[in-house]
Amino acid sequence: MCSCFIISCITSFGGRNEFREGLIAGQPETINPILNWLLQRREDLKKRAYLSRFLVKIDIAPEMRSDSDVIDLYEQVSKMSEYIGST
């Protein structure tokens, strides 16, 4: 979703360098479309940012991976992360 918008911004401004220079300089021609896109999708982006905390993979120490209870819990967490990510 976001990457498609960034790519369209870069191509509409003639390339990465022009886009980057416009951002750094704070040119309204560069900033306004970005702000417009963000503000139109504020609620979706807010939800996405909230849910992203729950989609982070958990590292388990190697010595804990042999415990069957830990493995079961890890699989449950992975399934829930996939479910949350698909909504």
Predicted TM-score of the model (pTM): 0.57
- Reply yes or no on whether the pLDDT at 57 is more than 90: no
Q: Which residue has the tokens 């992203």?
A: 52
Mean pLDDT of 48-52: 84
Q: How does pLDDT run across 14-25, given as a tens digit for each residue?
A: 778 888 888 899
Distance set, CA 47 to CA 18, 21, 24, 43, 51 (Å) = 31, 31, 28, 6, 6
The DSSP symbol for 54 reads G
